[in-house]
Every structure is written in structure tokens, then in C-alpha cells.
Structure 1
Amino acid sequence: MGAFAGLLVLLGVFVGVVYATTEVPDPGSVQNSQTTVVYYADGTTEMARLGDENRTNVSLAEISEPARQAILAAENRNFYSDPGISFTGIVRAAWNNLTGGSTQGGSTITQQYVKNAFLTQDQTFSRKFQELFLAVKLDNQYEKDDILENYLNTIYFGRGAYGIEAAANTYFGVPAAELTAQQGAVLAVLVRSPSRYDPENDPQGAQDRWNLVLDAMADEGWLADADRAASVYPPVLPKAGSTLGIPAGSEGLVVQRALAELEAKGYDEQQIRAGGLRITTTVDKPAQDAALAAVADVMEGEPEGLREALVAIDPRTGAVRAYYGGPTGAGDGAIDYAQAQRQPGSSVKPYVLATALEEGISVTARRDGSSPQEFPDRPNLPVRNSGGASCGSCTLMEAMTRSLNTTYYGLAYEVGAEAVRQNILEAAGLPETWAPTGSILDGKATLADPETGGTGASIGIGQYEMRPIDQAHGFATFASGGVEHEPFFVSRVTDSEGAVLLEFAGDAGDQVFPADVANDVTYALTDVADYSRRSLAGGREVASKTGTQGLNAQDNSDAWMVGYTPSLSTAVWMGNDSPNDPIETAGGAIIYGSGLPGAIWQQFMDTVLEGTPEEDLPNRPVIRGDTGEGVPAPAPAPRTQTQSPSTSPPSAPAPQPETDEDTEQDAPDQQTQVQPVPEQPVPVPGTGQPGTGQPGAGQPGGNQPVPNQPSVPGGQPVQPGAPAPDDTEEQPTG
């Protein structure tokens, strides 16, 4: 007992000494914000500077009382009576530190001010401990009104507005002195997460929290019951054109991905925008330059309406080495096509093969690749190969190289569409269901019909949409021997003094495919580049797959080239803003995966890999299972068909520049749908998100961009009333 008492005395002495020696800086001398710098992977080449753009400090008397009360109601109702710290917050921080949880949350306004104004953004228990002593001492040395005034001038409210005066002007066009309780509640909601609760980004979420703030004000007696009942959400000004320091060029999209990643790790906007962070990304400057050069060189003279995306990932770690989502990174016209949900065509066939390999079906197994073919799940709606290609008994490797739709539709049917779906989800790290975002896809199954939640065998020929980053991710899983690593953009974060806040070299990875399956998928893809005339320089070994999504019997909507070595996985996509518009070259020729996308992929890979050691790929399969014709799965119950049988495709179109197209030229079947073709909207400039959607009415396999729609993971807005994917799955793709 005496020993315990002695420990308490020592603890008391320690606390007393620390308190006495803690110096509180003069709030008037504090620099309210510091510039955050974003670097390329070398840690020295700057990509962007994010700093103070809009600030006007005001006295507390120049801030309306209802606005002050709204902030207090949202953040710290007991501000004027507490000692500057929250004892429950201290206990929670200590517990979270012991259990590995977050050290954030539950802070008083005084603590928040101390963290933002005086301390680094280090999210550690020691920083939290220091925050507590400073908060207590600040509370003892300064009046509460002085602390609140400085706090309100320090907060970042989003849209580049630092402090409540700038926020009042930015959101409502009035000075802080004129803010109403209802307007003040809008700003109070923004304190926790300015971008998330911006009413232009999430109107419903912002209004829900606004109601909670007003309820709290009423509970405290700061808002009369009659005024609370009569309160309506005030009109908010639209966002201005400020880029908030995000570069206007293509690198701005990299910065946005990096910042979003930090937010997901718990960094708030105050820390990111005004915390003086030094953020090192994973993106290599030479690789990024190579991506820009490949797009510029190949697309010179091509139609301006064509859109491109390129994502390159290190399969060993998940680090994103190059990222091109479009030429505009911020402001008007900023759309990130690397996040666009588009139909991948035949570039999904490796996942079908992986599923078959898991079932013991070898890459040397033979299946019927004749064309056309009917399948039990789609009577009277035959699947066809492009260009008249047909093979009565091809191996799965041959069918992969020649991109035979009938073989891989049949194989997906044989092994089960749901099994293929699960393999894609695991390889590309996709969620089982869409995360809640306010769109009509909330909670809906990924890679499935949003109405029924079912997945058909057309998944084997690319019916269900994926993003370019998903394909680079999924193929990287094959490249790493079946180990899936989550892609990431940020490798290191320090404060302005150099203290390391975050160091990340990738996750440990999950073995989602057996090594022998990954080996044999890679082996099966080794002939595609040569067959498509996209071999790499010096005969470097590479595994790859083309993909072309048909729009109708004459046109294509999307074209892909995806491939990898053990050290680099790269996906290239090409399309239009509206997936219902055909993609053509300047000469009017149809674009296929091995055409312009293939040329971009080839130039990029050759440039980045030049001078690096050549890496061997598998030269033989290791799974020696079924090599026969296979046994078809039982036919599922027939379902209602909404499309008429297809007609024969035309002969193969003219070849693309630099390549004599192979059977990857999947001229899709003409389909007839009962719905009329709606007018096609265009993507919303300045959102940073692609305007894509579900397959569009009247066009087999087409999608529609939908402006101003909330996005599911990856930024896929949804077109209400669009037909379900199963209604449009009948067209063969490439």
C-alpha cells in the first residue's frame, strides 16, 4: 500500500513539473496555417503546394451569437464551464492507445485549438498528452472568449475558407456578424469534415447533421422551440472555381487520390490543408512522365473527344507508380477516368481462366470455340466470336490468345458466374457490395445486376463494369503469384519539422489465388502481346490481355490493354464521355484494345522498363487436370428475355494504325431493345469524377454518364431507370 501511495506521489510530482515547464505560445503570434507540400516518390520533386487561400480574422464581437452557439452545440456545449480538457476524452485516448485504436475524437474546443495552432499533426498518445497540458494551461491563462475567438479564426471550413468570416462569405455571401442560427449550424456541421458534409457533396448527410445541431441548440436553450420548428435549411452558394491548391494538370488527380487516402487513414482536412504536412507519394516522376508522353504521342491527331486512362502498379507492394486519369486535375473539366466504371470486354477472361484452374481444368483443356453458339441460359440468343473466328476444339490458352467469346462465355457458364465474380472481387480488392453513398446502388452487389443482385455468365466476356485502377490491381495479383496488395498512393508523411507521422510500404498481402493458378494464368497470357503485335522491346516477356466492348454490330464503346511483368502491372482504357458514343480513330476506323490503347500501353511499358533487369515468366503450366471437353453445368431456370435474337456480325473492319487486328476485333452482335434511346448527358466538369453509369437503354452494352449523381466506390454514378445489365448481356465482346 505504501509503495502504491509512493507511486501516486511521484506521478503527482511529475505532472506538476511538466505543467510548470509547459509554455503556452502567445495566440496572437501563432501562424494559423502552414503550407502542405506533396512530393513525387523521390521525396524531393514537388507535385503540389496546398496552403492558405482565403482568411480574414475577426473579433468575437464580429461573429453573431447564434453562429457561436451553433459551433458550441456541435463541438463543445460545456466550453464555458470545462477546464479546457475532456476527462472522458483522456480515458478514451488512453484506452485507444493501449488497444491500437484512434487517438482522435471527443476533444474540447480548447484541445482542438491547441492541436491546430500549436502542435504537430502526429496522431500519437504522446502528442495527445502534450495537448492536454497545453489545453489546461491555456485555459488558465486566457479568457474563454479569447480562446473561442482564436479557435473560430483557425478552423478550416472547406472550399478554401479558413476561419468563420471567410466561411460566412464563401457559403452565404454575408459577414460572420450576420449569420443566423440556421446558417451557423451549416458551418458547425463542416467543422468535423468539410468535404464530406459540404451540402453540395452530400445534401442529405449535411442536412441530417444540421438537424442534430439545431436540436442541440434547442436543448441548451439557445434556440426557441418555435424557431426550431420553423427552421428550414438555408440556401448555400455554389462552389466557386478555386482549385484549393490542387494542380490544374493531370498530376492534380494524383494529389486528390493521395489526399483521399490520408482522409481515409484519419487525417482531417484541417491537418491536410493547413497542417504543414510533407506528403511523399508512390508515383515515380519518370514513370508519370512516360505515361503522359505515351498518351500524347499516340493520341496526336486523334479525335479530341476520346478519353484515356493509364494506371501502373507495383505488384509486389501495391504502390501506384503512374496514374493518368485525364488531362485536367482540378477545376472545370476535371474528371478522373482512371476511376470510371466501364465494361472491360475480354480483359476479364483471365479471371474466368483462374476460376477454371481452381476447378482443376488445365490451360491445355479443350473447349468448343465455334461461332455462333447458344447456351442454356440464353436460348435463341447466340454468342459470336468477332471477325468470323471459330475453333471447334481449341485449348483454353489458344482461346485466350485468340479471344474467343464463345469459349469463355461457355467456360464462365461451366464453372459458375458467381465463382468468377468472387475471384474478380478478391483479385481486384473490390467490395462485396457498394458502400452507402446516397445513390440507388447503396448496398447493391458488386459486378451484378443492381435490380436482382444476380450475375450471369456474360461476366466471362466483360458485361459488368470495372475501373482502370481495378484492372491494374487485379492483374497485379496474378503478377505477384496470387497475392493481392491494396493499391496505395502515400508512402510517407512528415510534419514541417521533419518528424515522421506515417511510413507505409504496402500491406502484407492476401493469397487470394494459389500460386499454381497464378502461374498458369500468367503462362496463358504470354502469347497475347505478340499475337496482338504489342510485344515489348527486346523480346521482354510480358503477360497481357486486350479487351474491346461492343456498342452494336458496327461500333465499339470501350477498348482496353492490360498487362504485366513481375515488377509492373499496367492497365490502359480508352472510350468517350458517353459510353453510347462509338470510339473511332481520326480516319474513321473502329478502335480495338490492341489498337490505340495497345500502342499507349506498349510505349509506356517499353519506356519505364528500359534498362531494368529482364524478368522471366512461367514457360509451362503446372496444373495438369481436365484436358478434355468438360462437362457443362446444369441449365438454370429460363428467365424472361427482353432482346431479340442477334444477327450475324459484319466482316472485320479495317485495321488500326500500327497493327493488323486479330480476332480481338470483336464486332458485336446487333441487338434490338424495346426502350428508346435517351438523350445522352455529358459528365459534370470540375467534379474530378467520371460520368459513367449502367448500360444505357437502346444500346447493347452501352452506359450513360450521369451528372451530379453520388458515386459508389470508384465513382460510378447511376442512371435511374436504366435497364439491368442482364438485359444487355447478349452481345459478344472482345
Structure 2
Amino acid sequence: MTSYGDPHAGSEYDDGYYPPSAGRAQVPPPPPAPGAYGYPEQNGGYVDNNGYGYPEQGGYNDYQGQNAYPGYNGYVDPNGYHEHGGYADGAGYQPDPNYYAPAPGRAPNPSASGRASVPVVGGRAAVLTPSAPAPSGRAAVRPAGPDEFDDEPRPKRKSSKRRFAKWQKWVVAGVALMILLTGGGLIAGTYFYDTVKRPDELTLDLSTEVWTADGKQIARMGKKNRIPVVVDKVDGEGKLPKQIQYALVAGEDKSFFEHDGIDLWGIGRAAWNNLTGGETQGASTITQQYARHAANDMDVTYGRKLREAVMARKLEDQYEKHEILGFYLNTVYFGRGADGVGAAAKAFFGDKVSAETMTVEQAALLGAILRQPEPDGTEKGYDPQNDMAAAKDRWAYVLNNMVEKGWLDKAKRDQMKFPEDQLVPFDASKNTGEWGYTDSGTGHVINYVRAELEQQGYIKKLNAEGYKSWRDSGIRVTVSIDWRVQDALQKYIQRSIAGSLMSTMPESMMAAATAIDPKTGRVMAYYGGTNGTGPDFAGTYNEGGVIKGGHRPASSFKIYTLTAALESGYSIKSMVNPTPLKSKADGGTDPITLGNANRDPGDLPCGEYCTLEEMTVKSYNVPFYKIAAEIGANKVIDTAARAGVTRMWAIDSDKSYDLVGDPNGKNKFDAYVGFGKYPITVLDHTSGAATLANHGTYFKPHFVMKVEKKNNKNGKFDIVPGVGEVLKGESRIKPQIADEVTSVLKQISKTHALDNGKRETAGKTGTWEANPETFPSENAHAWFVGYTDQLAAAVWVGNKDQELPLRTKPPVTGKNGKLNYAQGEKIGGSGLPGEIFEQFMNLAHKNLALKAVSLPNSTGIGNPQRGDGKSPTPAAPPCMFPLLCPTTGPGGGGGGGGGNGGGGWPRPTATVTPKPR
């Protein structure tokens, strides 16, 4: 075990020493102090020994504040460190008045002595104790680093003192053995063994990781930041190399591979102090530490030492050393929120480094940090970020122990450099059990991961294996998010990113967007906010038992009404009448009053006889309401549902309806659905667009691509069978109909052409007004939904809470004390949402190196005669014979009976309106 004192002290397993540094002055010792057991100079009578009569290493013989107070077996107490939980202490083992046990579930700080401990399952790794103040008169100077090994012989000592030390050790051992043989000790030990779980019976809390399809980690889940490693007695791929194992134990218990798991001196010391009324202390081996913490037995008594000793012996009998070490290294706390060496490697050296790929220098630093990972009181610990000098001293001590044990060649040791330049700054946000859920643009993706794992029955399977939560199961989930696409989206839509198109917008505004691969259904980008536990503006979320998340799609929903019309026999050349409707209450004859968003059909050359194609491009509302009323609102909703819209919200309540699983869900809405009155989610809208982009073939939107779990034998991640994506397309809309819709939509997107018009894109805008009584002529929702052959996306811009006017500048307070929202420009679908869509899609396609693909042209399907368009009365043909032409002049004759009239002329065909620029 370690020396449990300063990094230069010896241990009960350490008979090496360091000679004084050349030229270093030595501080004379104070008068001899009584030892812990009442014997003066209990370590053979030599004040400046380090356990075996060697001169104090580093050249500090009799150094005040370090070696002036000899501890049992030479465990000196540097700077007044008081010992708790198995740490030897000088000056008579004074109890620490500041010790406190951690509260249940609380993550305590590392102990004052810095000793690393195996965490209790379900709790924090180490018992934490503030350090006691140094006794008066003791120096607080840090000892120098250890020098290299020397062949200087041991100094000769008087035989009487040597005999006294030998007699003393036998007395202590005898007392310990006597107590071990008492019935109470055996009963306690047996009970302890029967109630402590063995390593192979424990289900450790492990970190679950979430990675993108292109290999970027975006989240870690779980209460513990723990990545399991495989420790074996032979090296191999995926296993922790032997030299790394040696480096990690060299500072804590360098004789671990030799002893039988029991520290007899620690047991004897605890027993003696218990009998004499002294503080119960004593060092524990790695095996004993596991026994203690696995049983959640943190009392520092001789009874505990007896129980852990029994368990340690049982463990050593039943398990090989590498198995015990593996459990220890997977659970011991390294600081920076890292439980286990797997997490510690990344916490100290970055995500690209793993425990298996660490260098010996890096592993030695982790082995040094184990002694005291975190600050405690006035002691900073051994994290280089907190105390670089102490970390370097302890690091050298670990490496020198490796040389002593024959684990490291001295020549290599001499060439090793402290890995200061390889350290990464401590990132508190990522060195916890969880990150990437409440603080990331992909935070809401985690909710979809959980839902999909649950739907596939995998969470139930994990529960059966003993994991209470999938987050603590240690699985690695690869999701469909592609960081090249996600990063492009967040660059333009996430407010907190400098240069984002949302960064200058009023705080009340919010934007959300998603992108899907039409040919697989993989969600490649998703942004609904940065807090996975808060409202999801791109999908559904539960608030007080109510499902929320929909936004009014406005005219962008017309892509489904157009599709439904074509399925019902319409043609894009069918003639429709966009004349506003007036109800009887408003002096008309129509069932409702409905206009075209303040646009009059008189502004159109086609008047009352316009093609459905032009009405889609111009986005007039009346024709789409009348089509929905004619073919049935449920028909329009059915088409939208087949395309990918799964849920729709009512307006007069918070209730939403399942359009897929509920047979009556499609019958809850009226013809206003034809132009997008009823809210849907951004993700659903993207899914619908993706189906059109894929020529009518639907792929279910999904996130989980595969799930892997680490193999405990070889350390590799194996794919979990039966979990993950199943790519199965369904033909939901006839290809010729989907392509006909695309031929119309690609005319609209020319206002936001991709790649300067070189990449054909289909798209549709949508704008819904705010409450006209409160905010007349203002907008509350703005959309742009569109696609290329390779990627479909939808962008929504609205408000976080209530529906307020969408303006480019925040409101100001008027003289009347009320907010004036008429600031800046109005935002509609072709404005900010279209700009986000254009810039995001351009960058995403560039990042993916996608080639431009042409979109389909019209094939002229459907019946052009379908529709309610009113043909204008044709003009009379010119008169070929003037004398015979009728005249209204005086003296004219001929009457009016002759002539062919107008009825015999063929019905004029509609003129195709020029396409908008």
C-alpha cells in the first residue's frame, strides 16, 4: 500500500529509499516525540527514518513539519495532515474533529490524507475529511522531489533499538491475531462476507454515451461519469495494458500483486487504539478498500478492519488479482467528476484519449492524483490544475516505485517528461454524470433516444439486467444526427451563437428547425431549443399532462391540400376561383367570410379563372379552403398523415389528436385545414416534405441507428441485436402525384434558390396572423418548408410564449405606458425563415459534398376541367362585311336577329401566367 504520508515517505511494503539531495541543507530535528503507542521513537528509535531506518528521501532528514513527528511504521505526517479511513498519522494519531460522514446521495470530497477509495455502489467514491491544522511549531514547507535511486547502504543502528522495534511489532501482531480469533470477530467477519456483493454480482452505474452518425459525442447520461475498462492479466486490444495497470497501483499499493489482501499492521493498529482509547485508524490494501466500500461500511473501527480483512481474504481466494484490480479501477474516484480510470483518462487528457491508449506518463499522473484528487480545506490535492508542484512530486514518486518493482526501465524513466502539455482544462459542465441534455442544441434528441429504446423493448431488457435506468447502463447509442448538418443548422438558428440570424432578434422570439434524409428517414439535424427538459419547439413535449409543441403551419400546409386535390382528380391546370367569400351575416351568400390575406383577385390577370398551380405559387387561401370543403377535410388530413404528419392540435383547446393511431383523429377538423389553420410540429412537417422529396415513399423519422455495449471480456463494443434502425420504406403517395407537387413547389423556392440557383429546390412559405383584435395586421407564425433530392427541412419562427407580433426589433414603451410592437420589419415566411432555410441548406449540402440533382417537371396528370373557375364572356368576333354588320346608328337596319351570337364559339383556354421571378 502507499506510505499514506507525503510523496517521499516509505510504506510497509516499501524498502526503497532516496538519499539526500546533493548540496541541500538539512533542518535539525526537534526533540524526539512519543509515538502512537506510547513508546518513544517507536520505529526503531530513529526520528528521521522512513519505516526501515533509511534516511528520509529527497534529502530532508529530520525536516520540520514533515519528519519531526514520526508515525507508526515510519508514516510521517506532512504539514499536519491528520489521518482518517486508513491513513497513518504522526504525532500520536490525534482524532480529526472536523470529520463528517457524507449525507446520503451526496458526493463527498476526497479525504484529507488524499487516499483514493473505491466508491460505494450508488454513492460517492471517497470518504472525505477536512485536514486538521498542523501542530504548533511545525514547518509547512513542501518537501523536495525524490532523487533517483542510490546504492548507498543502510546506515547502521543500535541493535537494542532494533530488538525493541521487533518486539513491538510482534506485540501488535499478537493482539491483532488474538482479536481475529475471538468469536465476535469471526461472527462479524462471516456476516460481513455474507452481506457483501462480490464484484461479479454488482451492477455498477455506468455512463451512457450518445454519438452522432459521423462520430462526435454529443451527450453523456447517468448519475456517474464512469466508462468501464477491461483489466486482464494479459495485454490485448480493448484491454488495459499491464504497464498502465502498474502505473495506477504504484502509488497506492505497489505490493498489490504480492500480498494476500490483508494489511496486518492496519488491523493491529486499529485493534490497539480501540483497546487503549486512541483513534481507530490504519491503512488498507486495495482489496480491503473494495470490501469496505462494497459493504457500505464506512465506520473507522477495529471491527470494520476485521470485517474487511475477512472479506479481503475471501476475495483473494476466489478472484485473481487482475479481477480485483479491475473492479477497483472501474470505481475509484479520480476527481473532476470521474469515477473510474476510463472516465478519468478523458477528464484529464481529452476525449481523444482512452484508458487503453494512455501513455505510461499519463497513467502515472492518474496514479499520483489518486492520493488526493480534489482540494480539501487548505490542501489543494494532486490535480495539476490545482497544484502543479505537488502533482509533479507525486508523479515522480509513482514512476520511481515502478522502477523499484521492475515494472519500468530506469533509462526510460529518466527520459520521461511530465505530461503537462497533454492536460486539458477542467470542464465542470462535461465532467459530471450528464452533459449535453440541458445545455445543448441537441438536448431534445435525448428524449427521442429514450422513447425509441422504450418502443423497441430495450429499456425493459436493461431493467431485467439490473439497471434502474438506461442512462446508467453504459451503452453507446449512435444517433442519426450528422454533426456536419447539425452544426450548419445551429450556426444560423441558435441565438447564443455569434452571427446567428436569430442573435439580433427580440428575446420573445424563437426558431426551430429539423432536417431529414428523405431516402432513410434519418433525422440529420434537430433544433428545438437548448434544454432537453424544457419546451421542445420542434417536436412534442409534455407539460402538466398535456401534449404540446404544435404551431400553425399556415400556407405551408397547402402542399398536402394540393396533393390531396391531385389524388382526387384535380390537375395543376384545373381552373379555380379565388374570389373572397362573404357570409350571409356580412351581406353575402357564402357559408363563411374568408379572404386571401388582404389580396384581391382583381390584382391577378386571371381574375376568377386561375390555375391551381398559380394559386399555389401565389398562395391564395380561398381556393384551398374550397377544395378541402369539396373533397372533405378528412381527405386532406389523411393525405398529410400518410406523408408524415402524425398529430394535429385543436385551436379552441390544448387538445391534440393522433392522426395515425386514433381512427377518429382525422375527423376532428374542418375545411380550414386546407390552408393551415391547425397546428402541427416542425418534425412532422419535415417528414411530410421528405416523403414528397422521395417520390411518395415514406420512411419513418428516427434517431437511434445502433446500440452498443462493452464486452467485459475483450473491452470492445458489441452491437446489441434487435435494437436500432430498420430501414423500410412505404409507398404512401403515388410517385407521379408527388412529383407533380414538386414541379409546382420548385417554382416557389426560387426566391431562396440554393447555390445561386444551381441546385433545384422545392419549397413553400407560410405566414399566420396574430390575434387581429389585439394586433391587427401582424404575424405570429412564419414558416419555410422545402427539400432537395437529398435533404428535406422545415423552419418555423414564432414566439416562446404567447402569440406576439413577429418584428425584427423589440417593442418599445409608448407614452401611454403600453408596448408598441410596430418596430422594425414584419417577419413572414419568405423573410427570416426562408433566409435560415437557404443559408443552412447551402452549408449542409456543401459540408456533405452533395451534388446537385434536378427535380421532376410536370407531367400534366389530372383533369384540367375540374374546378370552379368562372370563364370570362368571350368577345364578339370582328365583322367581315361591314354593310351586313349590325349597327346602332340612325337608319340602320338589319335588326338584331341574325348573327351567330356567342354561343357557338369554343370555350377559351386559360392563359398560363408567367412564372414569378
Q: TM-score, normalised by structure 2?
A: 0.42
Query: For 2:864, what is the secondary structure of its paired residue?
Result: coil
Counterpart in the other structure of 1:520: 740
Counterpart in the other structure of 2:204: 32
Counterpart in the other structure of 1:400: 616
Q: Report whether the alignment pairs 1:454 with 2:674.
A: no
- Point out the more displaced range, 533-542 or 413-422: 533-542
Conserved 8 A contact 1:306-1:574: yes
Are residues 300 and 377 of structure 1, via their aligned partners in 2, closer, same or farther at CA, if it must alter by over 3 Å?
farther
Q: Report whether the alignment pairs 1:379 with 2:551.
A: no
Instruction: Determine the C-alpha separation between the residues in 1 that align with 2:623 and 2:450.
Output: 43
Counterpart in the other structure of 1:327: 530
Instruction: Determine the C-alpha separation between the residues in 1 that align with 2:831 and 2:647.
Output: 32
Counterpart in the other structure of 1:423: 639
1:26 Cα shift?
2.3
Higher relative contact order (Cα pairs below 8 Å, separated by 6+ residues): 1
1:513 Cα shift?
0.9
The letter of the residue matching 2:740 is: D
Instruction: Determine the C-alpha separation between the residues in 2 that align with 1:486 and 1:350.
Output: 19
1:264 to 434, 442, 455: 455
**1:190-201 matches, cutoff 5 A:** none
Instruction: Determine the C-alpha separation between the residues in 2 that align with 1:452 and 1:38.
Output: 36
Are residues 663 and 326 of structure 1, via their aligned partners in 2, closer, same or farther at CA, if it must alter by over 3 Å?
farther
Are residues 334 and 248 of structure 1, via their aligned partners in 2, closer, same or farther at CA, if it must alter by over 3 Å?
farther
Per-residue CA distance 1:258-290 (angstroms, 9 max, x = gap): 222212222327352121101000000111100
1:346 to 552, 555, 558: 555
Counterpart in the other structure of 2:684: 470
Conserved 8 A contact 2:560-2:636: yes
Counterpart in the other structure of 1:280: 478
The letter of the residue matching 2:728 is: A
Counterpart in the other structure of 1:52: 223
- Point out the more displaced range, 258-267 or 302-311: 258-267
**1:540-579 matches, cutoff 5 A:** 540-551=759-770, 552=772, 553-579=776-802
Counterpart in the other structure of 1:289: 487
1:520 Cα shift?
0.6
Conserved 8 A contact 1:317-1:506: no
Query: For 1:311, what is the secondary structure of its paired residue?
Result: strand
Query: For 2:609, what is the secondary structure of its paired residue?
Result: strand
Are residues 540 and 549 of structure 1, via their aligned partners in 2, closer, same or farther at CA, if it must alter by over 3 Å?
same
**1:122-133 matches, cutoff 5 A:** none
Query: For 2:443, what is the secondary structure of its paired residue?
Result: helix
1:496 Cα shift?
1.9
Instruction: Determine the C-alpha separation between the residues in 2 that align with 1:441 and 1:377.
Output: 33
The letter of the residue matching 1:543 is: A
Per-residue CA distance 1:488-509 (angstroms, 9 max, x = gap): 0010101023121156444312
Query: For 2:623, what is the secondary structure of its paired residue?
Result: helix
1:600 to 836, 841, 847: 836
1:328 Cα shift?
3.0
1:362 to 571, 578, 582: 571
1:431 Cα shift?
6.0
Are residues 378 and 575 of structure 1, via their aligned partners in 2, closer, same or farther at CA, if it must alter by over 3 Å?
farther
The letter of the residue matching 2:594 is: P
Conserved 8 A contact 1:51-1:273: yes
Q: Where do 5+ consecutive residues of structure 2 fail to align? A: 1-195, 227-293, 295-317, 319-330, 332-431, 495-499, 541-548, 712-716, 810-822, 871-914
- Point out the more displaced range, 538-547 or 466-475: 538-547
**1:202-351 matches, cutoff 5 A:** 244-245=434-435, 246-268=437-459, 270=468, 272-296=470-494, 297-330=500-533, 335-339=536-540, 340-351=549-560
Counterpart in the other structure of 2:826: 590
Q: Report whether the alignment pairs 1:625 with 2:863.
A: yes
The letter of the residue matching 2:212 is: Y
Q: Report whether the alignment pairs 1:482 with 2:696.
A: yes
Counterpart in the other structure of 2:882: none
Q: TM-score, normalised by structure 1?
A: 0.52
Conserved 8 A contact 2:609-2:869: no
1:629 Cα shift?
3.4
Instruction: Determine the C-alpha separation between the residues in 1 that align with 2:501 and 2:797.
Output: 12
1:53 Cα shift?
4.3
Per-residue CA distance 1:545-574 (angstroms, 9 max, x = gap): 001111224111111000011211100001
Instruction: Determine the C-alpha separation between the residues in 2 that align with 1:361 and 1:398.
Output: 14
Per-residue CA distance 1:313-354 (angstroms, 9 max, x = gap): 011111000000013334xx5544443211110011011111
Query: For 1:581, what is the secondary structure of its paired residue?
Result: coil
Conserved 8 A contact 2:528-2:539: yes
- The structure carrying a bigger helix percent of its residues is 1
1:429 Cα shift?
4.8
Are residues 380 and 369 of structure 1, via their aligned partners in 2, closer, same or farther at CA, if it must alter by over 3 Å?
closer
Per-residue CA distance 1:276-309 (angstroms, 9 max, x = gap): 1010000001111000111142123111111110
Instruction: Determine the C-alpha separation between the residues in 1 that align with 2:666 and 2:639.
Output: 20
Aligned-residue Cα RMSD (Å) equals 3.8
1:511 to 731, 734, 745: 731
The structure with the larger Rg is 2
Instruction: Determine the C-alpha separation between the residues in 1 that align with 2:531 and 2:488.
Output: 17
Instruction: Determine the C-alpha separation between the residues in 1 that align with 2:211 and 2:754.
Output: 33
1:409 Cα shift?
1.4
Are residues 364 and 486 of structure 1, via their aligned partners in 2, closer, same or farther at CA, if it must alter by over 3 Å?
same
The letter of the residue matching 2:829 is: G
Are residues 342 and 429 of structure 1, via their aligned partners in 2, closer, same or farther at CA, if it must alter by over 3 Å?
closer
Per-residue CA distance 1:622-646 (angstroms, 9 max, x = gap): 41423453499xxxxxxxxxxxxxx
The letter of the residue matching 1:40 is: T
The letter of the residue matching 1:564 is: Y
Query: For 1:382, what is the secondary structure of its paired residue?
Result: coil
Identity, % of aligned positions: 31
Instruction: Determine the C-alpha separation between the residues in 2 that align with 1:263 and 1:594.
Output: 39
**1:645-656 matches, cutoff 5 A:** none
Instruction: Determine the C-alpha separation between the residues in 2 that align with 1:604 and 1:578.
Output: 25
Instruction: Determine the C-alpha separation between the residues in 2 that align with 1:45 and 1:317.
Output: 20
- Point out the more displaced range, 261-270 or 242-251: 242-251
Counterpart in the other structure of 1:189: none
Conserved 8 A contact 1:279-1:490: yes
Conserved 8 A contact 2:577-2:868: no
Conserved 8 A contact 1:318-1:506: no
Conserved 8 A contact 1:326-1:336: yes
Are residues 440 and 256 of structure 1, via their aligned partners in 2, closer, same or farther at CA, if it must alter by over 3 Å?
closer
Q: Report whether the alignment pairs 1:500 with 2:719.
A: yes
1:524 Cα shift?
1.2
Are residues 514 and 534 of structure 1, via their aligned partners in 2, closer, same or farther at CA, if it must alter by over 3 Å?
same
Conserved 8 A contact 2:572-2:860: no
Q: Where do 5+ consecutive residues of structure 1 fail to align? A: 1-23, 56-116, 118-140, 142-153, 155-241, 633-661, 665-734
**1:408-419 matches, cutoff 5 A:** 408-419=624-635
Instruction: Determine the C-alpha separation between the residues in 2 that align with 1:451 and 1:260.
Output: 22
The letter of the residue matching 1:572 is: V
Per-residue CA distance 1:460-508 (angstroms, 9 max, x = gap): 1111110000100111111111111110001010102312115644431
